[in-house]
Amino acid sequence: MRTRSLEGPRQVLTSALRVGLRKFELDSLLQFTRGKRLPSPRHLRDDSLTTNVETDSWRAHLLETPRQIKELLENTRRIAVLGIKPDPHQPAYYVPEYAQQAGYEIVPVPVYYKDVTEMQGQKCYRKLVDIPGDIDMVNVFRRPNDIPPHVDDIIAKKPNSVWFQLGIRNDEAAEKLARAGIDVVQDHCLLVELRRIGR
């Protein structure tokens, strides 16, 4: 009786195993990268939408409508005035003076006038981070090109909002502040907006 050779079936089984292993390796390469599962194309589309929403969420901190500005001013109590001046004829003096008379607490942060230690009856500070306690708003009286050096100081102080006065706009600085979670108003006069809401 002739013995039947197992070589043929073994070769078939070996080939099948190789094919199976290659398919498994291919599936693994497609589905995993550095141990993390790759999302399916559908999930990739969903994640992209989510990422776009998250990326654009900082824009909600750019306040422009009268309603947004009104709500901001109604929830503001303490204002640091960056670039305040001692000259009563300058907006950097009479705008914060008006806000003070309207019931807001003003904290002077002059850029110049190194010998001045007090403005409008309040102690002066040279940096926002040196101000004790929380600040609701930083009211900025600086030319647009002079704003960037102050951005890190503003972010470190973590105010609720930053207000660029009328004629002052720096979109790059505004975006950086907004991405830090700070509300930003650009190119608006604080005095005018306070009058608008009856303060």
Sheet order of strands, 137-140 included: 105-109, 78-82, 137-140, 161-164, 183-185
Torsion angle of C-alpha atoms 13, 16, 18, 21, degrees rounded to 10: -120
pTM beyond 0.75: the answer is: no
What's the pLDDT at 56?
A: 80
CB of 194 closer than 8 Å to CB of 76: no
Angle, helices 171-179/148-157, rounded to nearest 10 degrees? 20
What's the pLDDT at 28?
A: 41
129-186 pLDDT per residue, tens: 999 999 999 999 999 999 999 999 999 999 999 999 999 999 999 999 999 999 999 9
Distance (Å, whole) CA 199 – CA 196 = 8
63-116 pLDDT per residue, tens: 999 999 999 999 999 999 999 999 999 999 999 999 999 999 999 999 999 999
* Statement: residue 26 has pLDDT above 50: no
Q: Residue type at 127?
A: K
40-63 pLDDT per residue, tens: 444 444 444 444 445 689 999 999
Q: Residue type at 178?
A: A
Matching residue, tokens 């002066």? 124
What's the pLDDT at 11?
A: 55
Numbers of helices and strands, H then E, in the chain: 7, 9
What share of the chain in percent tops pLDDT 70?
Answer: 72
Pairing mode, strands 122-123 and 118-119? antiparallel
Q: What are phi and psi of 123, to 5 degrees?
A: -65, 140
Structural domains present in the chain: 7-57 (no CATH), 62-196 (3.40.50.720)
Mean confidence (pLDDT) of the chain: 83
